[in-house]
Every structure is written in C-alpha cells, then in structure tokens.
Structure 1
Amino acid sequence: MPAVVLSVNAGGLEQVPGLRRPSGIRKRPVERIEVRDPGPKRGGLGSGVVGDEIGSRKHHGGETQAVYAFAREELDLWAGRIGRELGDGMFGENLTTRGLDVDAAEVGEQWRVGETLLEVCGPRVPCATFAKHMGEPRWVRRFTEHGRTGAYLAVREPGVIEPGDPIEVVHRPGHGLTVPLFFRACMGDRELAEVFLRAEVLPRVEHEWLASLR
C-alpha cells in the first residue's frame, strides 16, 4: 500500500477536563494545512501548522516539533485495546498517515509530503495533558510501555498538505537510530542516550536537551 496522508488535522485552544489551562491537543480533520518553520520553542510561532494552537509553548512546538505525525494503523491498534473509536487527530497529530511505519523512521529521515519537505526529529513524550485528554487509566504508562509514539517533524520546505498526498521517504540516514530508540533514551535509558550523543545525529536543541539529562 502506498504511503499517504489520510487526514490533516488542526485545532484551537479548548478546555480539557482536569486541566487548569486550555490546550490545543484536540485536533480535528480539516481540508488542508499550510506548514512552515515556526522558529524556536520560546519566542517562536508555536506550531508549524498555520492556524493550529499550542497551549504550553514551554514544552511543545518549535522547530523540532513543528508537525506531529501518527499512523492510522497505530490508532486502530489502540482503538481495539481500549474498546472505543479513535478518530483521525485523536492523539493530537497534525498528519494521520496510512501505509507508512512512522515509528520505523530514523532521526534525520526526510519525507516529501505534498509541496513540503519534512524531517524526522524525535518522539512524542506523553504528558498529563495527553492523559487527561484520553481519559484512560494509567495512560502515560501504557503509552510509554508500548513505545510507538509517532514522530515530531521539522519543516525544511514549507507548503500545503492535503489528504491523499503521497508520502515519499527521500532520505534515510542509515544509522539505525529510530524514533522508538530515541524515546527510550528520553525515558531514562542511559546507554542509549550515550549512543545518540556520540552519534551526533540529533538536532542541536534535542542534543543539548538529552545531554542535560546526564
């Protein structure tokens, strides 16, 4: 099956039960999205998707978290596990994909999507906002143990993305350091963290953040 964009999703700030501040985690399918480099996490534009909102810019958004991609196949897996329908955008993703193993992507891998060029930067780390939004028991732990988080992407060439656009992997570094491995390093695997730091494959901001955990 060819890899395609199944849905493009965006959202405004909304109140999530159990949270004090509004969040932009509730994404809904839209006809098209325009993506661009939002600049740094602090002081930048927030989301890489024009019109998409982020509640906490301290922890989310910025160049290396400009666009979030998640596979429809993984949503279907979780729907079966928790016994409820999960619509496109339910995990807060901007791109719901089909036919692409998002979690097999290597850090630094580049995708041609519609008019755009996107680069894989790292995993989504589950947080309290995600847990409250899902409303499932022990959600952060369950999501973490599964270890397939989808991928945050940087925008290297801006443009428009629409449902049905093909996704072509145009560059794969070949170092074998995938998004799930980076997630394990983020979650405390010190040996893996050192592997990533020695390999110097991470974007600068992610490299510095991982080094700060030593």
Structure 2
Amino acid sequence: MSYTGEVTVGGPAHVRELAGLRIAKVAVDEQMSNNCYLLTCRATGEQLLIDAADDAPTLLPLVGDGGLSAVATTHQHWDHHRALADVVAATSPTVIAGEPDADAITEQTGVAVERRVGDADTVRFGEITLEVIRITGHTPGSICLLYRDPEGHPHLWTGDSLFPGGVGNTFGDAAAFATLIDDVETKIFGTLPDETWFYPGHGSDSTLGAERPHLQEWRERGW
C-alpha cells in the first residue's frame, strides 16, 4: 500500500519506507485526532517519537522492543504530550522540546526536558539527523523537524505550525499571527523546495508545492 498519510483514530499506523528511515504515522484521541510519528533508523533500529500526544497503550506497542532513543514534543499545548509521562517511564528516552516551551511542558507533565533546542540545532538517532527549525507564533517555542533524505526529497514534521490550508491557530492574536506567517514563509517556504513533504500535528499531510500558491491568501485573511 502506498503511503498517503491518511490515518484514523483506532486504525492502523500508516508506514512510509525511505532508503534510510521508516516513518510510522498514527492518530490518537477521537476528539483531538492528534498525529504521532515514530521514526526508525533502518540501519541501526534506533527510534525517535514525535509527540507522545495521547494513548500510551497505542504508542508503546508501536515502539515495540526497539525502545526509544528520544521523544520530541513539537510544542507546549496539552494535547501534544498527554502520554509523555507514561512513554518516558516505559522507555527512558532523551526528552526534547523547544527551549521557550520546555518549562511549560515540564509543568504540565512532570517530565524534565533534557534537551532544549532551537534554530540550527540537530537531533540524531542512529544514522539519521533531523534539523530543528524554531517557529514562533502558535506557541513561543514550537519546533519543526526536518529530514533531508539523501536519496529523495526533504521531509518536515511541523507540529501545529503548518497544515494543509494554513498556518496554526494564533487565537485571535494579530501579532502572534504575523510572527507565525513570517517564520513559516521565511524559514520553511523560503528555504525548502516544493517537493518537501510535511507531516502536521493533526490531519492529512501535504507538500510545500501544494501550499505555496496560497501564502498571500493566508496572510491577507489573517489566519
């Protein structure tokens, strides 16, 4: 089955096989339908989980006996880390988050953030390197994680900063929206090619090429 990124809560993980990286996407929580992504280095078996959003009984079997090298939380909002404490207790990974959001994540979950990251930082597991892109606006310390596939196009995990059809919610804060759309346009669309496939915190995936024509429309509508 070819990968589409279409997953449903309670359904199976959808798996994408790259030359060096396996990507498994699963949806959790009927109300919020958060996406969680398990990345596995195919050379070493080391694994990283992006957003332990909810439902440890779903996430831990997905992780399996391989354990976790790290778990990265894309931002501080409660729906993206409800299973963090249980996943960390079971797998003892390095806990990673954006520096400005780290304290809030610890306050909400009781889990210490061991690596506080920002622009130009990297996250390594096995032979895989992810580049950190800090995007301010949806929260102060939201992060995206970029994998530059040496045998294909880039892959980008965007949390709630970028979705098909627009940027993340800034809850009516015009200044936060301006910062968010500027960061997304400059740091993502301004540096990455159209074939970049991105994986958001909720819902379906898309490519930068599919979304790029709408940037000015998003800016003008203010959300």
TM tier, smaller: 0.3 to 0.5
Q: TM-score, normalised by structure 1?
A: 0.32
Say which structure is richer in strand.
2
Q: TM-score, normalised by structure 2?
A: 0.32
